Amino acid sequence: MQQRFVKNLAFLLFLNLLIKPFWILGVDRAVQNQVGDVSYGFFLSMYSFSIVFFIILDLGITNYNNRNIAQNNQLLSKHFAGIATMKLFLGIAYSVVIFLIGVIIGYSNEQLSMLGWLVLNQFLLSFLLYLRSNISGLLLFKTDSLLSVLDRLLMIFICSILLWSGWVASPIKISWFVYAQVVSYFITTIVALYIVLKHTGKIKLSFNLPFSLMIIKKSLPYALLVLLMSLYNRLEPVLLERLLPGVNGLHQSGVYGRAFRLLDAGNNISLLFAVLLLPIFSTMLKRGESVTNLVKLSFTIIFTMSITVAMLAIAFSEPILGLLYPQQMNETFDFFTQRIIESSSVFRMLMGSFVAVSSTYIFGTLLTANGNLRQLNISAAIGVFLNVALNFILIPQFESFGASIASFSVQTLTAIIQFILAYKILNLRFSKIYWIKLIAFSIIISGSAFILLNVSIHWVFQISLGILLSILFVFALRLIDFKDVVIMMKEIMKNMKKQSADEANNLST
């Protein structure tokens, strides 16, 4: 059973690391290059607005259902109809909230039309995640892993035809991009529904108010946290479009999207730490074991990785963006250079926040595992207030660069707050020599990144050399010891063994 769990985990990670980076850096990037910053900025502002309130579609139901079905497979048929009906009502509530706010803030008919398609997308995605929670709860891990990337695979297939096949006479339009998402989510949802219905048989939709209220009550603190974090993570494109006049707002939203794309790709890697560490932290805290060593090791790994990526990205921002967003047809070299310089300033600021964002996947996950949702909600609320205030001050004067400053400030502040909370609540203790080594590593890598700019080799080899130097200094400063890695792996395997035993018990019942 343990071997089965490890294989399925590896399969899931392989699929996601193979498909999602290609989607973000390949297809999504190519779409923006073809449609231009204004059209993509129009889409991004609407998409960010729709995702801010995504939690209304879920309210923690997916997480609750996953645990419940995994422990009680026999409840799938009993609960599916009630929860599916509840999801439909939440979809209606989400639509009403989204369109009401959209009208209040003055969205045009064109924007509301785009928002309608995006609302449909978000509803299909939410229902798909719920269906997948049933499938994973039934321990159909490979099926769930395939479903986790099927929508992206379909989007890649459709968009590749639109972008590169030569079968479509005109360049891709941003509306086609959205329609491709609708088709992909719809097909994947139908496939997932078919799989679930094979285990539930025929169902009849019904609504159980006490049951729905019970789920909402249990998940409300988590739902509030997700809502607040969505607000300060996704508001910038919306505020850029709203606070800047006319086409410039859409253009600046598109510029922000160019710079944000690589940060988003990096966050997908850092997120794996949270996925892996949450059950481990939860198990150790439940047993009353000290988490200091594991927190220290995981933080060291993610900090050294993120600061290396951040500093190299900052130092080589212009060649990186020039590679991702090359000179377009009918675009003069001067305009191309100006576009890259404009995007680079935003990119450098956003990548500067990568260290803070990555750190929250350690300390935020630790606080979540310890049940400190109240403290996390307060810190997230502070982040939302600061984000809105800074954006209203900075965007009118500095446009997308001002939004990146606001994002950097908020991400850094919330990371510091979460670290202090975790340090005090969990009684973490890191030695002074450890902090000195961490500071020394940061200075060395920062200096090395800019020194490498003057080395007479291609910039790709300069970055590669920077990564090798980072690995060398990590071990030279003894920030990471092989013994600590072995200890971490033992904890991971111990947690896997426990989950495998739980799976075996579920299967036997």
Angle at 146 between CA 145 and CA 151, to 5 degrees: 115
Q: Give the per-residue pLDDT at 22.
A: 83
> Who's near 34: CB < 8 A, 6+ residues apart?
163, 171, 172
Q: Give the per-residue pLDDT at 79.
A: 67
Q: Give the per-residue pLDDT at 480.
A: 78
Give helix then strand counts, H and E, for the chain: 17, 0
Q: How far is it, in rounded angstroms, from Cα 192 to Cα 184?
A: 12
Q: How far is it, in rounded angstroms, from Cα 441 to Cα 447?
A: 10
Q: Where are the domains of the chain?
A: 1-207, 235-430, 437-477
Q: Give the per-residue pLDDT at 214.
A: 75
> Who's near 29: CB < 8 A, 6+ residues apart?
261, 324, 325
Determine contact, residues 134/73, Cβ cutoff 8 Å: no
Residue type, 257: G
Q: How far is it, in rounded angstroms, from Cα 150 to Cα 110?
A: 30
Q: Give the per-residue pLDDT at 264.
A: 86
What is the 3 state secondary structure string of 71-86?
HCHHHHHHHHHHHHHH
| Overall size of the chain counted in residues | 509
Q: Give the per-residue pLDDT at 506.
A: 44
Q: Give the per-residue pLDDT at 402.
A: 96
Determine contact, residues 383/235, Cβ cutoff 8 Å: no
Q: How far is it, in rounded angstroms, from Cα 216 to Cα 58?
A: 9
Q: How far is it, in rounded angstroms, from Cα 52 to Cα 63?
A: 19
- Beta-strand (E) ranges in 141-260? none
Determine contact, residues 81/207, Cβ cutoff 8 Å: no
Judging by beta carbons within 10 Å of its beta carbon (0-12, 13-18, 19+), is residue 365 exposed, middle or buried?
A: buried
Q: How far is it, in rounded angstroms, from Cα 301 to Cα 303?
A: 6
DSSP secondary structure letter of residue 172: P
Q: Which tens digits make up the pLDDT trace of 148-187? A: 889 999 999 999 999 998 888 788 899 999 999 999 999 9
> Who's near 365: CB < 8 A, 6+ residues apart?
273, 274, 277, 278, 281
Q: How far is it, in rounded angstroms, from Cα 124 to Cα 135?
A: 16
Q: Give the per-residue pLDDT at 292.
A: 87
Give the position of tokens 């253009």: 251
DSSP secondary structure letter of residue 455: S
Q: How far is it, in rounded angstroms, from Cα 74 to Cα 199?
A: 10
Q: How far apart are the first and last CA of the chain?
A: 15
Query: Following CA atoms 281, 285, 286, 290 in sequence, which dihedral angle do they give, to the nearest 10 degrees?
Result: 120
> Does residue 414 sit in helix, strand or coil?
helix
Query: Splitting the chain (509 residues) into consecutive groups of 10 residues, what average pLDDT does each group show?
Result: 47 68 86 91 93 83 62 63 82 94 93 95 91 76 79 92 86 92 95 85 67 73 78 88 92 93 84 73 81 87 93 94 88 90 94 93 88 89 93 95 95 94 91 93 93 89 94 88 64 56 46
Q: Which tens digits make up the pLDDT trace of 193-229? A: 988 888 776 666 666 677 677 767 777 777 787 778 8
Task: Give which of 96, 132, 393, 364 is closest to 243, Cα–Cα.
Answer: 393
Q: How far is it, in rounded angstroms, from Cα 153 to Cα 191?
A: 14
Give the position of tokens 């392989």: 14
Judging by beta carbons within 10 Å of its beta carbon (0-12, 13-18, 19+), is residue 4 exposed, middle or buried?
A: middle
Q: Give the per-residue pLDDT at 507.
A: 40
